[in-house]
Chain A
């Protein structure tokens, strides 16, 4: 960040100093400086100095005392009632405090926490209580942030007759320390008669917090820390399509429940230090690798040595044949030009005939659903050299996925929702290259080369009050998760309506609990779902749209932006037709007028599609 006359209240000379100094500061130094400089204003000194409100609006509250966050995990309610007791005690000492059930606390906010008090019971064989499990797992995962500026203390509730007495409290205590937190008061483990030891812990904690509040002039508020962080983030990323970023896989889970016909992967990738940024609606490209089994079968079929060196590009890079087929060339799809090129190289009579002019339809039929292995089995080459074969192969393309997360809600992460493609064709099982790689061979800790693919044509409206209608069955729902995360993080209050569909309610309701939370807290206004295989007749999103057509039309008239994401061939076409029908039925338009209306919406960027 550079200061100049337009964006700061400093004169030329001051600006020069600042511009030289600021880039050299560490984050901690910047934070310290904020607090140091603003302290006198808050404390009432130097009142003659005028502060420019617009230039430094956040400096004002900079020297509040540290905020206390109380998180409780509780099944029987004891933890919860202790949490409210300590909140009262802290409030009595004028200490700012917030309290959450661990379930209601967003793990990503952990980065902003200053003083953390954990009250938790332990269940069964040392397991966390139900409403603490997600938070517990997050904290113990690779996704947990460093907690260097965090002070904490743990109150553990348990029953000594159990082997793993107070285990969850112990786990939290240990983990918070590992993450760099400073223990402000030692953990207390309570047996069934918890009242006295809990009281002792509470007074101890309150005493420490009270003593250390107001004393430390360099403490800073959340807003400044964020401001400082934004300063740092503004550098450009060095990673791009040409230079993909090796992103660490943080999480890779199958979202579908038991009994599903589907496998939909939720993939979380780290963007830490990549400098990569994106907006909701953008896509992420992954450079995949081919299935090693398929590569080996192919090499085996051709009777080649997998370790034979081949030149893979004009720059002269040399790979082993196996590595080249794994990572550089497409082997799962055939093209017309490949058939033509192969006809020249394979010395196969039948193939030559197939490639002759006039056989275009036959070629097209042959290509459908076949891959290189089928091809070399059907047309075994004579005296073909690996290096020549490589020459006629297509480069393995990157796979694009609509991003399912918002950077504002999940800084340093990108989430994807990937449907695993598996099907049968010509007597063999086939798999999608990238989706099956992720489903079958990618573990947390692995790296995937990625880059961001911007999509300016699938963006939230700039006016936060504009209503939005989102139609995204199956993995088409991914960008809408990003939309809602973004709107929640920004506190947007405009109306929103989501249509989702899949096969079965019980196993295929992707991100079900997240939509439920957003419906509850108002980030999502309405949601309609269609599960096609839960009843005799198939029901899809467009049926739900038709059922709600009056309201749907009203939203359109109110200026709603309509987003459609997902399958192009069937879903998007049916949805398009359904919107036209709604315009005709509810708006009294002719089919031509309806088409004009929808086209107008498209031009006004009120009808945006991300279909594939």
Chain B
């Protein structure tokens, strides 16, 4: 740490030298000898909404064949609150089948991802996404990412106002560099001669030290996992009116195995701000992080570490100084769950249908035809689509007239029911993992259903069939599926090996704790079996699984990320 403090991380050099995110991306796209772009450009490409990946299933095989890895690109869309029109859905569907791997990935941050796009098609795909009135700018990278917001319009009258807030924050924090237009949309090259005019008034030339995530929750739903966000806003509704937001700061999932200076952390509520101040508050918090975040060690660069190393009081003061006013005292709120409410509901005089999408992967297989089914629905739907923070989809604002037709399509393509109708499945999430994710240490999306079926068999056997338990799996400790907040969390360590965590809060308000380290399927099932049995027999009325394992001593309760590793935690200076 000490030696690192003086030396900036290499990503800082890349950003500084990139001329506002240009680097040599445009040149790299044209190099016919490789399907990749340079390592430096890779870091920059993230800011444009794309990651270079490769098919890791064949990486080793190709190396022996003296072929470079099977490089391909993931493209992530930026769509605040997960909102897409039917036309946009159809466009994404077309791009997925034309340039990507024929599937649409709905992410845990309410957006679309395309996987498997070749370098030669990258520019064209980006262009067409923009033509569909989406952007990919700042969907990844050291900037504010896609802003999440509770998508369920039937839940509250204030939903539209909340969505507007999410969109405003997202737009306000969007990078201003013309590089994006130049590279992807054949925009005019802008020569930076205008002295005094700032290209990135908020971010500056080196952007943020690390990624920055914002989400807005509308209680009682905590579907956006407000405690996992760098910055969370909790909508406060009084008498059917949106009064403003409680502000929560310093949450985040990512950690590194074996590095006890890193840990998942839950955001802490520091006050309340009125609705019209929400953009200002977001901007100022981003600025504090821009100026104080750790730029030498990327593993300690998220806002949670900035706050934990300097103290929450310091942070509040710093924020107040920049705002020029003080946050009000936080208002009362209550979360009851993180999961989605499936099926048909009526709200705002329209119908809404929430469908469970296994691992958020919209594809066709023998059992279900989500890709075709949702395409057919998009063709006739007059409302909109809303991607949920649990990787599911809401077909929102369906007229009474269309309801019948859509019901028919749901049935025809097997989009509801079946295996996935059980509460265990519907409260589950897994990240992408192998073969495309470069960070994956173990399988996730491809293996999770297998494991879940076996876990479900145990719950049925011990009589827990109708119980909701939040189970999440991530292929690595970066935690895209937010496993550290699950009642049962699996974090990959090596092929076939996972750390098993227990005791997260059902409403996403408590981190879980390591129960067994580095175990395979057999040991996982052996570890869970007696606990399920115990839970079935001795749980108190309404007691959640996550609470039960703490009360009965399987794991200790975690109050803060600083307790996550227990005595092993190393405090950041």
Interface residues, chain A, CB within 8 Å of chain B? Answer: 123-125, 133-134, 137, 159, 161-163, 192, 253-258, 266, 505-507, 509-516, 519, 527-529, 534
Q: Smallest distance from the beta carbon of B391 to chain A beta carbons, Å?
A: 27
Cβ–Cβ contact A516 & B67, under 8 A: no
Asked whether B12 is an interface residue with its Cβ less than 8 Å from the other chain, the reply is no
Task: Check B62 for interface membership: any CB of A closer than 8 A.
Answer: yes
Chain A CB count within 10 A is highest, among B32, B33, B35, B441, for B33
* B259 x A192 contact (CB < 8 A): yes
In the bound assembly, the distance between CA atoms of A258 and B66 in angstroms comes to 13
Q: What A residues does B68 contact at CB under 8 A?
A: 509, 512-513, 516
Contact of B35 among A125, A133, A506, A527 (CB under 8 A): A506
B42 close to chain A: CB less than 8 A: no
Residue among B32, B259, B495, B496 with max Cβ neighbours from chain A (10 Å) = B32
Known contacts A125-B496, A506-B70; decide if A255 and B65 are in contact (CB<8 Å): yes
Decide: A515 and B33 in contact? CB cutoff 8 A. Answer: yes
Q: Do the beta carbons of A124 and B441 come within 8 Å of each other?
A: yes
Q: Is the CB of B67 within 8 A of A161?
A: no
Given the contacts A125-B496, A512-B66, A527 and B518 also touching, CB distance less than 8 Å:
no
B58 within 8 A of A: yes
Complex contact B70–A161 (CB within 8 A): no
A-B contact count (CB 8 A): 72
Per the bound structure, the CA–CA distance linking A333 and B257 in Å amounts to: 63
- Cβ-based interface call for B29 (8 A): no
CB-CB under 8 A from A266, the residues of chain B are 66
Whether the Cβ atoms of B32 and A258 lie closer than 8 Å is: no
Per DSSP, are chain B's interface residues mostly helix, strand or loop, or mixed?
loop
Complex contact B496–A513 (CB within 8 A): no
Categorize the interface residue count of chain B. Answer: 20 to 34
- Minimum CB–CB distance for A262 against chain B, Å: 12
Question: Is the beta-carbon distance between A529 and B64 smaller than 8 angstroms?
Answer: no
Q: A161-B493, A161-B518 are in contact. List 19 more A-B contacts (CB 8 A).
A: A125-B494, A125-B496, A134-B63, A159-B257, A192-B258, A192-B259, A256-B65, A257-B65, A266-B66, A512-B33, A512-B66, A512-B67, A512-B68, A513-B68, A514-B66, A515-B33, A527-B33, A528-B32, A529-B33
B157 within 8 A of A: no
A509 to B58, CA, bound (A): 15
B34 within 8 A of A: yes
- Please judge, given known A-B contacts A124-B494, A516-B33, whether A254 and B66 are in contact too, CB under 8 Å: no
**Which B residues are CB-close (under 8 A) to A258?**
58, 61
Decide if A162 touches B518 in the complex (CB within 8 Å): yes
* Contact string against A for B residues 31-51, beta-carbon threshold 8 Å, 1 for contact and 0 otherwise: 011110000000000000000
Closest to B517 in A: A161
Cβ contact within 8 Å between A162 and B65: no
Residue of B nearest to A257 (CB): B67
Whether A257 lies near B62 (C-beta < 8 A) is: yes
**Is there contact, CB below 8 Å, between B58 and A257?**
yes
B60 on the A face (CB < 8 A): yes
- The answer, among B34, B35, B67, for a CB contact under 8 Å with A255, is B67
For residue A369, give the distance in angstroms from its CB to the closest CB of chain B: 31
Identify the closest chain A residue to B260 (Cβ): A192
**CB pairs A–B below 8 angstroms (20 shown):** A124-B441, A125-B494, A125-B495, A125-B496, A125-B497, A161-B493, A163-B518, A192-B258, A255-B66, A256-B65, A257-B65, A257-B67, A258-B61, A505-B32, A505-B35, A506-B118, A513-B66, A516-B33, A529-B32, A534-B120
Contact A133:B63 (CB < 8 A) given known A192-B258, A192-B259 = yes
- Hey, which chain B residues are within 8 Å of A257, CB to CB? 58, 61-62, 65, 67, 70
Instruction: Return chain B residues, CB-CB under 8 Å to A255.
Output: 65-67
Interface of chain A, main secondary structure: mixed
A residues less than 8 Å from B441 (CB atoms): 124
Q: Which residues of A contact B518 (CB under 8 A)?
A: 161-163
Minimum CB–CB distance for A391 against chain B, Å: 45
**Shortest beta-carbon distance, B7 to chain A, in Å?**
11
Chain B nearest Cβ from A584, distance in angstroms: 27
Residues in A with CB closer than 8 Å to B65 are 253-257
CB distance from B538 to the nearest CB of A (A): 31
> Of all chain A residues, which has the CB nearest B299?
A76
Please list the 9 inter-chain residue pairs (A to B) with the smallest Cβ-Cβ separation, ordered nearest first. A192-B258, A124-B494, A161-B518, A511-B66, A512-B67, A255-B65, A257-B67, A513-B66, A124-B495
Contact B33 A513 (CB under 8 A): no
**Per-position 1/0 for B489-533, Cβ under 8 A of A:** 000011111000000000000000000011000000000000000
A460 to chain B, nearest CB (A): 22
Interfacial chain A residues near B517, Cβ < 8 Å:
161
Q: Nearest Cβ distance between residue A97 and chain B, in whole angstroms? A: 22
CA gap between A530 and B167 in the complex, in Å: 46
Min distance, Cβ A496 to any Cβ of chain B, angstroms: 14
Kindly state the separation between the CA atoms of A137 and B70 in the bound complex, as whole angstroms. 21
- Give chain A residues whose Cβ lies under 8 Å from the Cβ of B34: 512, 516
Closest A-chain residue to B64, C-beta based? A253
- B67 near A509 with CB under 8 A, answer yes
Minimum Cβ distance to chain A for residue B3 (Å): 10
Which of the listed residues A253, A257, A515 has the most CB atoms from chain B within 10 Å of its own CB? Answer: A257
Tell me, rounded to whole Å, the shortest Cβ–Cβ distance linking B232 to chain A. Answer: 31
CB distance from B254 to the nearest CB of A (A): 15
Q: Provide the bound-state CA to CA distance between A515 and B33, in Å.
A: 8
In angstroms, how far is the closest chain B Cβ from the Cβ of A498? 10
Nearest Cβ on chain B to A140's Cβ, whole angstroms: 13
What residues of B have a CB within 8 angstroms of the CB of A534 in the complex?
120
Residues from chain A with Cβ under 8 Å of B497 in the complex = 125, 162
- Contacts of B35 on A, CB cut-off 8 Å? 505-506
A125–B442 alpha-carbon span in the complex (Å): 11
Q: Which residues of B contact A513 (CB under 8 A)?
A: 63, 66-68
Roughly how many angstroms separate A361 CA and B224 CA in the complex, as a whole number?
A: 80
Which single residue of chain B is at the shortest CB-CB distance from A531? Answer: B32
Q: Please report which residues of chain B, range 228-278, place their CB below 8 angstroms from some CB of chain A when the two chains form the complex.
A: 257-259
Provide the B59-97 mask, 1 if CB < 8 A to any CB of A, else 0: 011111111101000000000000000000000000000
Are B70 and A159 interface neighbours, CB within 8 A?
A: no
Query: Smallest distance from the beta carbon of A518 to chain B beta carbons, Å?
Result: 10
Chain B neighbourhood of A125, CB < 8 A? 494-497
Q: Please, what's the 1-or-0 string for B467-499, where 1 marks a CB less than 8 Å from any CB in chain A?
A: 000000000000000000000000001111100
Closest to A526 in B: B33
Within the assembled complex, what's the spacing in Å between the Cα atoms of A253 and B259?
A: 40
Q: How far is the CB of A552 from chain B (nearest CB, A)?
A: 17
- Residues of chain B in range 128-183 having any CB-CB distance to chain A below 8 Å: none
Within the assembled complex, what's the spacing in Å between the Cα atoms of A222 and B393? 67
Give the residue name and chain of the A residue nearest to B442 (CB). A124
A159 to B495 Cα, complex, angstroms: 15
**Across the interface, which residues of A come within 8 angstroms of B494, CB to CB?**
123-125, 162
B259: which A residues are within 8 A, CB to CB?
192
Q: Across the two chains, which residue of chain A brings its CB closest to B496?
A: A125
Q: Which residues of B contact A124 (CB under 8 A)?
A: 441, 494-495
| Complex Cα spacing A231 to B372, Å | 73
Task: Give Cα A142 to B30, complex, Å.
Answer: 40
Inter-chain CA distance A257–B61, complex, in Å, is 8
Q: How far is the CA of A489 from the CA of B257 in the complex (A)?
A: 43
Q: How far is the CA of A515 from the CA of B496 in the complex (A)?
A: 36
A602 to B32, CA, bound (A): 31
Docked CA distance A514–B33 (Å)? 11
Minimum CB–CB distance from B566 to chain A (whole Å) comes to: 15
Distance to closest chain A CB from B120 (angstroms): 8
The distance from the CB of B475 to the nearest CB of chain A, in whole angstroms, is 12
Chain B residue with the shortest CB-CB distance to A500: B33
Q: Closest chain B residue to A254 by CB distance?
A: B65
Collect the chain A residues with CB atoms within 8 Å of residue B33's CB.
512, 515-516, 519, 527, 529
Cα(A258)–Cα(B61), bound, Å: 9
| CB-defined contacts of A506 to chain B, threshold 8 Å | 35, 67, 70, 118
The interface residues of chain A lying within 8 Å CB-to-CB of B257 are 159
- The CA-CA distance from A84 to B184 in the complex, in Å, is 40
In angstroms, Cα B32 to Cα A516, docked, is: 11
Most buried by A among B118, B258, B441: B258
Q: CA separation between A192 and B61, bound complex, in Å?
A: 30
